[in-house]
Amino acid sequence: MEKSGKGVLLWVVLLNLAIIVSEIYFSAVSNSVALLSDAMHNTGDISALLLALAAATLSERKATKKKTFGYSRAEIIAAEINSLLILAVALFLVYESLKKITHPSEIKGRLVMLVASIALAGNVASALILREGSEHNINRKGAYLHMVADAGTSLAVVGGGAASYFFGLNIVDPLIGIGVAVVIFIGGMRLFMEAVHILMEGAPDVDVEEIRKKALKIEGVKDMHSIRCWKLSDKEAYFVGHLVVSARSLKDAVGIRKSVERCIKKEGITNVTLQIESAEECGEKANVL
């Protein structure tokens, strides 16, 4: 991430931290669990942003003799822990909401509307800051779209405050609390599954079978087997395999290998290792392909 990108994110983080603190404080004063949910939702987002920033710094560290992959996976481990915390928070919010539904208490609707409106303004401001340049940067785009969704939940909390202020409908607030908790849970679950996929050495978003077919069309390639393909982190993907070639010289064989490597890298794989062999020498059974 370029320096200016980090600067922009820092402002968004500070703005949202201020919103979160005031939301937590006023959720207690106003008896609103919806406001607390909104605060927790924003907390989850900000912790994800901070983790991404910290991990980006950590992953710049060089690999060592003991850690030959460096610290690329630090981000994934952090994301896994973060997702578990997010899921716990979602369950806690459902519990708090149910408590308010079974034991209703008066909600200070005007205060809820006021604080949630400020949060809404903060989300809109963050969205506008992030929108600039979001067409060119996938991370920025994700953050921008997320802020738009956050504005939506803040708007719902404003609605809950209005329902109790104008109509005395105190039950709307905890119902919105549950709704926001569900949104938080789904986001947490998605993050959890993504991190598990990477920790299970899952393949990146490519069709390995298709890559093999393309490689087999390259002249001199007789077979490719014992393929293993995995994601190290969000940025790096590995591909290893045995490449059976028919070549007259080692130089030819290396040339064929380089062509296959280029073909694989075109699919977005960053690191390719191919073991060259002739048809008769390999007895290894293929795992999948």
Interacting residue ranges for Zn ion, rule: CB under 5 A: 242, 282, 284
What's the min distance (Å) between Cβ of 276 and Zn ion? 10
> Distances from the Cα of 217 to the Cαs of 212, 221, 277, 280, in angstroms?
9, 7, 17, 20
Closer CB to Zn ion, 12 or 227, in the complex: 227
Closest CB to Zn ion among residues 111, 227: 227
Q: Least distance (Å) from Zn ion to the CB of residue 139?
A: 39
Cβ proximity to Zn ion: between 1 and 289 the closer is 289
Q: What is the largest CA-CA distance in the chain?
A: 86
Alpha carbons within 13 angstroms on the beta-carbon side of residue 79 total: 24
- Picking from 153, 86, 90, the residue whose alpha carbon sits closest to that of residue 124 is 153
Contact status, residue 68 vs residue 212, Cβ threshold 8 Å = no
Least distance CB 271 / Zn ion (angstroms): 19
Comparing CB distances to Zn ion, the nearer of 132 and 284 is 284
Min dist CB 265 to Zn ion, Å, is 21
For 78-118, the DSSP string reads HHHHHHHHHHHHHHHHHHHHHHHHHS-----HHHHHHHHHH
- What is the distance between the alpha carbons of residues 93 and 178, in angstroms, rounded to a whole number? 7
CB of 275: closest distance to Zn ion in angstroms? 7
Instruction: Please state, in angstroms and rounded to a whole number, the distance separating the CA atoms of residues 276 and 256.
Output: 9
CB nearer to Zn ion: give 131 or 242: 242
